[in-house]
Amino acid sequence: MGRRRARARGVGGFGALLCLLLALLSAGWITRDLFAAQRPSDLWWVWAAVPTRPDGARVWATTLLDPVSGLGCLLAAVAVLRRSPSAPCALGAVAGVTLLFRAPPLWNLGAEGLPGAGAGAREWALITAGVALVVSGLLLVAASAGRSGADRRESRLRRAPAVVALLLLACSGLILAAWQVYSLRELGWSAYWGSVVGDTYRALLQPPVNWTLLSLALLSLVSAVGAARRSASLRPLGLLTASLLVAHGAAVLAAEQRAGLIGHFRALAPRTQLDVATAAFTVLAGLVVLLALARPAAGAAATRGTVGGRLPPGYAPPPPPSDLPPNW
């Protein structure tokens, strides 16, 4: 058992290094875009899907997914270094999200799908996407090894936060999925499938818009299943999904506010009103889920006591009383 735990700690340290590598890749591209922007605020508006031209002949490279996923990688690395019980699950959550959002650039950039992007920029973006996918596969291996060497006692989410997270994540996933069904009926299968796997986009590392929305719907529903089971193992995925929902909704609301739509909400077309309402709901739902899942699991405090009738290592039974009872 001790050898297995030592091996799991070694694999966990390797997983922390991989998370730091992913975070550095995101930070490098964000820094590159900051230098390409005429003003730092331009990068935010690009992330919010507001058309903004970079300085010179460059093209944008990042989206709002990059800072959110980069922060998630840093937090996963911290969890591993602190030997948190949720560290293997955090590695798995980071790996899954990275696989979803770094796969599309491989076929889009290979087909030169972004007009104006030079061959050098496309090659570096392709290398970044390929490295991210390889690192994600290694993270899944590290997460599996960490689970095999971890304590088998499974803690559970508290009932009230789990119910709140279940309802909000399920509603968010179903709403996003319903919008995809609406887009399918409106565009037809051929045009819709093109928007999922190869739509026009503004940044080198940007997945197609409907691919992103479908991925958010999938992550929300998977996290809702974990909340329904009160499984603490899916808690890191729920936190990361809630962060992505907040980022997505905030970007949409910022773009609509800049366009002057929110100030004239009653005069908008019903579909636009639904767009605004959906964005506001995802922001609110994501914030509430973050607060609900941030609380420790129900079994966290219980692990300090006895397990299976045995005291945990480092604990000793209380000493006998100094004065024995009469006629002892």
pLDDT of residue 117: 61
Question: Structure tokens of 217?
Answer: 């719907």
Judge whether residue 138 has pLDDT over 90.
yes
pTM of the model: 0.87
- The pLDDT tens digits of the residues spanning 173-215 come to 999 999 999 999 999 999 999 889 876 667 889 999 999 999 9
254's tokens = 């910022």
314 token code pair: 């480092």
201-235 b/e with 16+ CB inside 10 Å = b?
Answer: bbbbbbbbebbbbbbbbbbbbbbbebbbebbbbbb
Return mean pLDDT, the chain.
84
**For residue 36, what pLDDT band results from cuts at 50, 70 and 90?**
confident
Query: Could you tell me if 79 and 250 are in contact, meaning their C-beta atoms sit under 8 angstroms apart?
Result: no
